[in-house]
Structure 1
Amino acid sequence: MNSSLNQESVIPNNYSFNFKVNSENEKLNLELPFTEHVEELRQRTLHICSFLLFFSILAFLEIKPIVELLEIPVNNIKFFQLSPGEYFLETVKIAFYTGIVLTSPILLSQITFFIIPGLTSGEKKFILPLFLGSTVLFFISLVFSYFCLVPAALQFFINYSSDVIEPLWSFSQYCDFILVLFATTCIAFQIPIFQIILGILGVVSGSTMLKLWKYVVLIAVIIGAVLTPSTDPITQILLSGAIVALYFLGSGVLILLKR
């Protein structure tokens, strides 16, 4: 009887000691991957910044073709600079934004590679297509802005004042107009991604989104008026129409995912 009691008294003590050791080991194992994740994040951030710097410098060295590309929608307009350093500062800004555009696929890939190890197999099935879809929509928004929104807005202003004044635009203000239009369109084209995320989280379904199309049209008109830097109705209609089309696209994708 005593021997059995001694054995029972020993087992809990050993178990408690082993539990403490295992707890310490688990704590160390949890702390070590965290430091490794921080180091990995630092390295990936350094890689992204290096590519951004490289592409920005490369764009600045070849800035003349980029400026000529931006001036194609208004070939018949003469530009001027208000100060000696205005054109130089604008070219630096253009080179930096060009570097961001060229670095964006690398940025998304680095983010994907960083979060993939912590995702389950089910989450990976959604995350990777979302990142890919976001990248594709990003570049489609740039093409849509350059070939549709920018020419429509500029031609409206040129034709509206052609009989009264001769167009002579500031290069700085023109570039700011173009860049703001690019940025707002890129944000608007991410609407399907936000819809799919909300659907995956169970906040709202695709069929419910389709039922709210009347409100979406109204909100799209308001967003088009707010996001477009110009006041012409053509640009607002084009952007609002694109937002409505993207909304229906996101709703349709959610319905297909549910099926």
Structure 2
Amino acid sequence: MATQPVPPESEVSAPSELPDPPDLSELDVVLDGSDDLPPGMPPGEPPDDQEGAELTLGEHLNEIRQRLTVAVLTLVLTTVITLIFASTILDYLLEPGRQALPEFRPIYTELLGFIGAYIKISLMLGLAGAMPVIVYQIYAFIHPGLTRAERKWIMPIVGLATVAFACGGAFAFFIGWPPALTFLLNFGQDIADPQVRINNYIDMLTRFVIWTGIIFELPLFLMGLGAIGLVTSRKLLGMWRWAIIGSFLLAALVTPSIDPVTQTFVAVPTMGLFVLGVALVRLVENRTVIPVIESDLDEEDDDDNDPEPQPA
């Protein structure tokens, strides 16, 4: 068999040269987002102000579940603690009735009436005791979405509102409740003996304390309206006649009795709260209360209005 001649090496076609591999360093930088990170932060870690924005819906729901669990467990714990001392607490709440009428002794006409009063007192006081933890869990959840000015002022406002509500509740129990009971228990004593159900006593006391606490929020409410420009101090002062009428109407709705003495005890402080609210609105107009908020908002507006740098 004849063999084919082998061509010389010069005539053998050389393989084509392969192209150089692409430079992936720039692509890695784009994927890592390291150009957008502050100096000193390793790639792959977002800055603090972007952590909330990167949470998925499932992560948000998981955070809600965790914070709700903490709030509920705290409420259960405080309710159990108050349930242990419910007998002492109930005896203390009944003391104004004994002072108004020495032979005062509430009754219950249902088998679960007294147990219901125990549980009701424990739940209300347990909720009051757990409220700081509940408020903190709510604040911690919404904190990433707040602006700098809102973060600076939301907790002081919540603290002032809590103090105002507590002062209103204390005023209702120690100042407004005793004369109201004295009037109600002695009004028809020469004709009929009062037989007060314990649930009725607790319900009336609870409503009186809660509504009086809400009324004590009036100065903060007026200050908020003045801060957003809905009312002015001059306009509020021009409504002083309506303020007096409204104070007595609120007192008539809130107080459990219809005697003018108890209603006056509630109406006069309400008028004082209105005057305090007008003074706070005046301070807001002079920018002596919230100048920091405005400066923070101005800085944020300046940051938003800064033109983006043009690429070279």
Q: TM-score range by the shorter chain?
A: 0.7 to 0.9
Partner Cα distance (1:127, 1:179) in 2: 28
Given the superposition, is the C-alpha separation of residues 237 and 250 from structure 1 closer, same or farther in structure 2, using an over 3 Å criterion? same
Does 2:96 align with 1:73? yes
Give the aligned partner of residue 98 of structure 1.
125
Give the aligned partner of residue 237 of structure 1.
264
Which letter maps to 2:96?
P
Q: Report if the CA contact (8 A) 2:143-2:151 is conserved.
A: yes
Given the superposition, is the C-alpha separation of residues 229 and 123 from structure 1 closer, same or farther in structure 2, using an over 3 Å criterion? same
Pick 1 or 2: higher relative contact order, CA cutoff 8 A, min separation 6.
Answer: 1
Of 47-56 and 29-38, more deviation after overlay is shown by 29-38
SS of residue paired to 2:118: helix
Q: What are the ranges of 5 or more consecutive residues in structure 1 without an aligned counterpart? A: 1-17, 22-27
Deviation at 1:83, TM superposition (A): 1.8
Partner Cα distance (1:114, 1:57) in 2: 26
Give the aligned partner of residue 282 of structure 2.
255
Q: TM-score scaled by structure 1? A: 0.81
Which letter maps to 1:39?
N
Deviation at 1:57, TM superposition (A): 1.4
Which letter maps to 2:70?
H
The CA RMSD measured in Å over matched residues stands at: 2.9
Kindly tell me the number of residue pairs found equivalent between the two proteins.
239
Given the superposition, is the C-alpha separation of residues 126 and 250 from structure 1 closer, same or farther in structure 2, using an over 3 Å criterion? farther
Give the aligned partner of residue 16 of structure 2.
none
Identity of aligned residues (%): 28
Partner Cα distance (1:171, 1:210) in 2: 44
SS of residue paired to 1:79: coil
Deviation at 1:62, TM superposition (A): 1.4
Give the aligned partner of residue 162 of structure 1.
189
Q: Report if the CA contact (8 A) 1:112-1:131 is conserved.
A: no
The C-alpha deviation readout for 1:98-149, integer Å capped at 9, x for no partner, is: 1112122323333333333333333334322211111101211121111011
SS of residue paired to 1:97: helix
Partner Cα distance (2:257, 2:202) in 1: 13
Give the aligned partner of residue 202 of structure 2.
175
Deviation at 1:191, TM superposition (A): 1.5
Partner Cα distance (1:196, 1:125) in 2: 17
Does 2:173 align with 1:146? yes
Given the superposition, is the C-alpha separation of residues 221 and 70 from structure 1 closer, same or farther in structure 2, using an over 3 Å criterion? same
SS of residue paired to 2:180: helix
Q: Report if the CA contact (8 A) 2:180-2:255 is conserved.
A: no
2:157 aligned residue (107, 123, 130):
130
Q: What are the ranges of 5 or more consecutive residues in structure 2 without an aligned counterpart? A: 1-29, 34-50, 289-312
Give the aligned partner of residue 111 of structure 1.
138
Given the superposition, is the C-alpha separation of residues 255 and 37 from structure 1 closer, same or farther in structure 2, using an over 3 Å criterion? farther
Which letter maps to 1:73?
P
Deviation at 1:34, TM superposition (A): 5.6
Does 2:237 align with 1:214? no
Which letter maps to 2:89?
I
The C-alpha deviation readout for 1:78-108, integer Å capped at 9, x for no partner, is: 1111122210111111111111121223233
2:225 aligned residue (191, 198, 220):
198
Q: TM-score scaled by structure 2? A: 0.68
Partner Cα distance (1:48, 1:115) in 2: 15
Deviation at 1:174, TM superposition (A): 0.9
Does 2:144 align with 1:121? no
Deviation at 1:38, TM superposition (A): 4.0
SS of residue paired to 1:83: coil
Deviation at 1:35, TM superposition (A): 5.0
1:53 aligned residue (76, 81, 99):
76
Which letter maps to 2:105?
K
Which letter maps to 2:62?
E
Deviation at 1:188, TM superposition (A): 1.3
Give the aligned partner of residue 44 of structure 1.
67
Q: Report if the CA contact (8 A) 2:252-2:258 is conserved.
A: yes
Bigger Rg over Cα = 2
Partner Cα distance (1:79, 1:40) in 2: 46
Of 35-44 and 46-55, more deviation after overlay is shown by 35-44
Give the aligned partner of residue 9 of structure 1.
none
Q: Report if the CA contact (8 A) 1:206-1:255 is conserved.
A: yes
Given the superposition, is the C-alpha separation of residues 230 and 254 from structure 1 closer, same or farther in structure 2, using an over 3 Å criterion? same
